[in-house]
Amino acid sequence: MTQNRSISPKFLLFVLAVAVAAGALSTTLKVWLLPHARARQVPEQLQGILLDKTKPVPAFRLTAHDGTTVTRESLAGRWHFLFFGYTHCPDICPTAMGDMAAVFTNLEAHPGLLDTTRMLFVSVDPDRDTPESLKQFVPYFRADFLGLTGHIGEIENLTRALGAGFRKIPDKEGEGYQVGHTTSVFLLDPEVRLTALFHPPAHDTQLIAERFVAIRDLYAKEKQP
């Protein structure tokens, strides 16, 4: 006898997240393989994480949960971890933000490092994620994390440029929706260029911290005359 089994919404979200992440990885690979790209040597420990060709972030304008305006120019001079998510996310986003809070705790062992490093949570659900709702969600994980929201067009342009993606998934009842989205953590360098990607499903917080320090050290060496 054949039994009909329903597929849970969480499983569908997971499948979509994997598909979106695969699309992001495909986009990244295309960047790596550009024939005119001036590739850098990627140390073995950073392979699969550090891009061998950085990718500039385009101009954008978003609003932070503290009411300030955040643009490409305002990110210059600092390192930024960036995660695309939404406050109504049932599991992936809280887990990722908790992991990043642990990463930043690990980075506190390096004096002064966090003075030039920041975590950004960019909402892919601006219809519901106002600055006020982000203010209730983002600082819960760590007080110095910053939540961003804004016009959907600005968010779409930013995700597209970084090779990320997202899509609304209506609930079966038709009264609400969830959002499938890329689950990678993006790393922008002080020149506001995508320089590395930390992929799911498991974010090893100690390893992310160690590799971030290695990436910073490599960046400093590349800037030496």
Do the domain assignments include residue 2?
no
Is the Cβ–Cβ distance between 123 and 148 less than 8 Å? yes
Is the Cβ–Cβ distance between 24 and 163 less than 8 Å? yes
* pLDDT attached to residue 202: 58
Hey, what long-range contacts does 217-225 have (CB within 8 A, 24 or more apart)?
218/43, 218/46, 218/50, 219/189, 219/190, 219/195, 222/40
What domain range is 78 assigned to? 9-223
Do the domain assignments include residue 13?
yes
How many domains in the chain?
A: 1
Domain CATH number, residue 187: 3.40.30.10
- Tens-digit pLDDT string for the chain (225 aa): 433 334 444 444 444 444 444 444 444 434 333 333 456 778 888 988 999 899 999 999 999 999 999 999 999 999 999 999 999 999 999 999 999 999 999 999 999 999 999 999 999 999 999 999 999 999 999 999 999 999 999 999 999 999 999 999 998 877 799 999 999 999 999 999 999 999 875 568 999 999 999 999 999 998 887
Do the domain assignments include residue 138?
yes
Question: Which tokens hold the place of 74?
Answer: 């305002």
* pLDDT attached to residue 3: 39
* pLDDT attached to residue 34: 35
3-class SS string, the chain: CCCCCCCCHHHHHHHHHHHHHHHHHHHHHHHHCCCCCCCCCCCHHHCCCEEEEEEECCCCEEEECCCCEEEHHHHCCCEEEEEEECCCCCCHHHHHHHHHHHHHHHHCCCCCHHHHEEEEEEECCCCCCCHHHHHHHHHHHCCCCEEEECCHHHHHHHHHHHCCCEEEEECCCCCCEEEEECCCEEEECCCCEEEEEECCCCCCHHHHHHHHHHHHHHHHHHHCC
Question: Which tokens hold the place of 207?
Answer: 């390893």
Q: How far apart are CA 9 and CA 61, in angstroms?
A: 33
Do the domain assignments include residue 130?
yes
pTM attached to this predicted model: 0.81
Residue among 94, 98, 150 nearest 122 (CA):
150
Do the domain assignments include residue 4?
no
Do the domain assignments include residue 1?
no
Antiparallel, parallel or unpaired: β 79-85 and 50-56: unpaired
